[in-house]
Structure 1
Amino acid sequence: MNNKTLRQALLNKRMLICICTGFSSGLPLYLLIQFVPAWLRSADIDLSTIGLINLVLFPYTWKFIWSPVMDRFVVPVLGRRRGWMFITQIALIALMSLLSFYDPATEISHIIVIVGAIAFFSASQDIVIDAYRRELLPDDELGAGNGFYAQAYRISSFVPGSLAMILAGFYPWSVAHLSIAVFMLVGLVTTLMINETSKAGEEPQTLRSAVVEPFVEFFQRQGWQQAVLILLFIMFYKLGDSMATALETPFFLDMGFSTVEIGSIAKIAKTIGATAGTILGGVAMIKLGINRSLWIFGIFQLISILGYVMLSMVGYNHLVLAIASGFEYFGVGLGSVALIAFMAKSTNRHFTATQFALFSSIAAVPRTFVSAGTGYIIESVGYTQFFIICFVCALPGMLMLLKIAPWNTKSSAA
Structure 2
Amino acid sequence: MLPLGFSSGLPFLLVFSTLSAWLREAGISRTEIGMLSWVALAYSFKFLWAPIVDRYDVPVLAHLLGRRRGWMASSQIVVALGLVGIAVSSPQTSLPLTITSALLVAFASATQDVVVDGWRIDVASTERQGMMAASYQLGYRLALICAGAGALYIAEFVNWRSAYLAMAALMAVGLIGTLLAPRADESAAREHLPFRAAITEPLADLFRRKGLILIPILALIACFRLPDFVAGVMANPLFIDLGFSKTDIANVSKLYGVWIGIIGAFASGLALTRLGLWWTLLIGAVIAASSNLMFAWLAAEGARLDLLTLTISFDNFAAGFAGSALIAYMSGLTSPGFAATQYALLSSLYALPGKLIGGASGAVVDAYGYPLLFTATAGIGIPLVLLCLIVRRDTMKTVEEKEEAAVMTAAPVGAGSRA
TM range (shorter): 0.7 to 0.9
AA at the equivalent of 1:219:
F
Q: How does 1:198-237 map to 2 (within 5 A)?
A: 198-206=185-193, 207-223=195-211, 225-237=212-224
3-state SS of paired residue (1:54): helix
Q: Is the 8 A contact 1:22 1:151 kept in 2?
A: yes
Could you say which residue in structure 1 is the equivalent of 2:327?
340
Could you say which residue in structure 2 is the equivalent of 1:309?
296
Q: Is the 8 A contact 1:41 1:47 kept in 2?
A: yes
Please say which of residues 318-327 and 179-188 is displaced more in the overlay: 179-188
1:291 aligns with 2:274: no
Q: Distance in 1 between matches of 2:312 and 2:216?
A: 31
Q: Distance in 1 between matches of 2:39 and 2:360?
A: 13
Cα displacement (A) at 1:95: 1.1
Q: Distance in 2 between matches of 1:288 and 1:188?
A: 41
Could you say which residue in structure 2 is the equivalent of 1:133?
120
Q: Distance in 2 between matches of 1:182 and 1:34?
A: 20
AA at the equivalent of 2:265:
T
Could you say which residue in structure 2 is the equivalent of 1:90?
77
Cα displacement (A) at 1:305: 2.1
After superposition, the Cα gap between the structure-2 partners of 1:52 and 1:351, relative to the gap in structure 1 and judged at 3 Å, is: same
Deviation sequence 1:66-112 (CA, Å, 0-9, x none): 11111222443323332222221111111112211111100001111
Deviation sequence 1:10-66 (CA, Å, 0-9, x none): xxxxxxx2x433332221111111211111111111111111112222212222211
Structure 1: which 5+ runs fail to align? 1-16
Cα displacement (A) at 1:144: 6.0
Larger of the two Rg values belongs to structure: 2
Cα displacement (A) at 1:381: 1.7
Could you say which residue in structure 1 is the equivalent of 2:16?
33
Q: How does 1:146-161 map to 2 (within 5 A)?
A: 146=133, 149-150=136-137, 152-161=139-148
Q: Is the 8 A contact 1:147 1:279 kept in 2?
A: no
Cα displacement (A) at 1:382: 1.2
After superposition, the Cα gap between the structure-2 partners of 1:241 and 1:79, relative to the gap in structure 1 and judged at 3 Å, is: same
Q: Distance in 1 between matches of 2:392 and 2:7?
A: 31
Could you say which residue in structure 1 is the equivalent of 2:411?
none
Could you say which residue in structure 1 is the equivalent of 2:409?
none
Cα displacement (A) at 1:277: 0.8
Could you say which residue in structure 2 is the equivalent of 1:53?
36
Q: Distance in 2 between matches of 1:68 and 1:294?
A: 31
Q: Is the 8 A contact 2:148 2:254 kept in 1?
A: yes
Structure 2: which 5+ runs fail to align? 407-419
Q: Is the 8 A contact 1:34 1:160 kept in 2?
A: no
Identity over the aligned pairs, expressed in percent? 32
Cα displacement (A) at 1:293: 1.7
After superposition, the Cα gap between the structure-2 partners of 1:191 and 1:30, relative to the gap in structure 1 and judged at 3 Å, is: same
Could you say which residue in structure 2 is the equivalent of 1:9?
none
1:71 pairs, out of 51, 54, 59, with 54
3-state SS of paired residue (2:39): helix
Please say which of residues 296-305 and 332-341 is displaced more in the overlay: 296-305
AA at the equivalent of 1:70:
V
Q: Distance in 1 between matches of 2:224 and 2:232?
A: 15
Please say which of residues 166-175 and 186-195 is displaced more in the overlay: 186-195
Could you say which residue in structure 1 is the equivalent of 2:412?
none
Q: Distance in 2 between matches of 1:148 and 1:405?
A: 32
Cα displacement (A) at 1:175: 0.7
Q: Is the 8 A contact 2:80 2:168 kept in 1?
A: yes
After superposition, the Cα gap between the structure-2 partners of 1:302 and 1:209, relative to the gap in structure 1 and judged at 3 Å, is: closer
After superposition, the Cα gap between the structure-2 partners of 1:232 and 1:392, relative to the gap in structure 1 and judged at 3 Å, is: same
Higher normalized contact order (CA 8 Å, seq sep 6+, divided by chain length): 1
Q: Distance in 2 between matches of 1:130 and 1:403?
A: 32
Could you say which residue in structure 2 is the equivalent of 1:392?
379
Could you say which residue in structure 2 is the equivalent of 1:267?
254
3-state SS of paired residue (1:184): helix
Give the total of aligned pairs: 396
Question: RMSD across aligned C-alpha pairs, in angstroms?
Answer: 2.4
After superposition, the Cα gap between the structure-2 partners of 1:123 and 1:105, relative to the gap in structure 1 and judged at 3 Å, is: same
